[in-house]
Amino acid sequence: MDKTQDVAISRCDYTDIDLDSLLAPLGGMRRFVKRGERVLLKVNLLSASEPSSGVTTHPAVVAAVADAVQREGAFPYIGDSPSGRFTRKALEKVYNRSGLDRLSRDMGVELNYDTSSKRVTVSSGKKLKNMPVGNFALKADRIIALPKIKTHSFMVMTLATKIMFGTIPGLTKARYHSMFPKRNDFADMLLDVLSASTPDLFIMDGILAMEGNGPQNGKPVELGVMLASEDAIAMDLAVCEMLSIEPELVPTLKRARIGRMLPSGINYPLLRPEEAGIKKFKLPSTVKKAKRRPQPTENCTGCGKCEEICPRNAIKLIDRKARVDHSICIRCYCCHEVCPANAIKLVR
Ligand code: SF4
Ligand code: SF4
């Protein structure tokens, strides 16, 4: 990509978010939304988790963005297809635990319950020429994506380039894990998904992030930063620089480089990445060459979520305990990601 991209970085916590200052170098919210438009706030709602767990986009960030959109006379609504089945019941649980139903009541912001989808053609797609995309994303006049800084045991980091995977409905996401078991192929697929419905603006929640074996069962860590950019790849490169992560370790960025999708340069109108003052950040243990295998532990409650999500049917519940057939496991770590009891360890 022959274009320099702006990435605004600022330090803050959940009680003093100054979104106007963060967006000012990009032209302010008015550059991205117009009066009367319906604006999807595409949050990261991986699972029904409390905001303090660092799993989901924090409601304080969502509230700040919703407020800025409303001030422009537009109508924000919140949507995502979490891990597992895409049903009204599942959404109710996720909205409740993540604090978004309260935000919805307090601010009059709509929560999406439309679980229908439509096939979208991506003629430039490397791995997918067409795919089902949730109508909640397709019907938006504008999309503002609100990713979170988190590690990901399979894709190393889950940032802006992966956020639109949540527009793929329900268990189709697990099927794509099965179709693309190699990291590079999966990364190409994620870039195809991003191009199917590209957000107009990305605002990253890096205030409470997650390190270690994310995106569900890693360790919450306070980084105290937010980022804003029009470009997902520039934003993810900025996060890597801020956290001292080699971009080639992140498959989406590696594949974006090979596909000549990187910006020609990044301009930092506020803080530079090194000025964010982040000293250390722990990557997933799976980054090491020997791929770790998922091993259920005695903490397994027999809920069956891992069995349901596993794209290779490698998990069976035996005597109400999960058992993995490692001979067919493709190490996608979906089971680790959905386990509500943190009962799956990644072992050598
Ligand atoms: S998701 Fe976790 S707790 Fe539930 S059956 Fe699987 S290993 Fe056990
Ligand atoms: S057992 Fe877990 S890591 Fe292995 S294929 Fe199934 S979901 Fe993926």
275 and 295 belong to one structural domain:
no
**pLDDT exceeds 70 at position 87:** yes
Q: How far is the CA of 302 from the centre of ligand 1 (A)?
A: 5
151 and 294 belong to one structural domain:
no
Q: What is the pLDDT of residue 289?
A: 59
Q: What is the pLDDT of residue 290?
A: 64
194 and 330 belong to one structural domain:
no
In the chain, the number of structural domains is 2
Q: Is the CB of 323 under 6 A from ligand 1?
A: no
Tell me the CA distances in angstroms from 148 to 22, 56, 123, one per residue in order: 16, 7, 29
Give 278-327 pLDDT, tens digit per residue. 999 999 998 875 678 899 999 999 999 999 999 989 999 999 999 999 98
What's the CATH code of the domain at 155?
Answer: 3.40.50.11440
Q: How far is the CA of 254 from the centre of ligand 1 (A)?
A: 33
Q: Are strands 265-267 and 293-296 parallel, antiparallel or unpaired?
A: unpaired
Helices (H) and strands (E) in the chain, counts: 11, 16
237 and 295 belong to one structural domain:
no
Q: Nearest to residue 21, comparing CAs of 278, 273, 269, 272?
A: 269
| DSSP alpha helix (H) spans, 37-83 | 59-71
Tokens 């550059």 belong to 31
Q: How far is the CA of 84 from the centre of ligand 1 (A)?
A: 13
**Position 146, amino acid:** L
Q: What is the DSSP letter of 283?
A: P
Give 138-178 pLDDT, tens digit per residue. 999 999 999 999 999 999 999 999 999 999 999 999 999 99
Domain that holds residue 328: 288-347
Q: Is 68 helix (H, G, I), strand (E, B) or coil?
A: helix
230 and 292 belong to one structural domain:
no
Q: Which of 236, 258, 280 is the last residue of a domain?
A: 280
Q: Which of 247, 280, 313 is the last residue of a domain?
A: 280
Tokens 């929640």 belong to 205
Distance of CA 241 to the CA centre of its chain: 19
The answer to whether 88 touches 113, Cβ cutoff 8 Å, is yes
The answer to whether 202 touches 230, Cβ cutoff 8 Å, is yes
Q: Which of 231, 264, 280 is the last residue of a domain?
A: 280
197 and 318 belong to one structural domain:
no
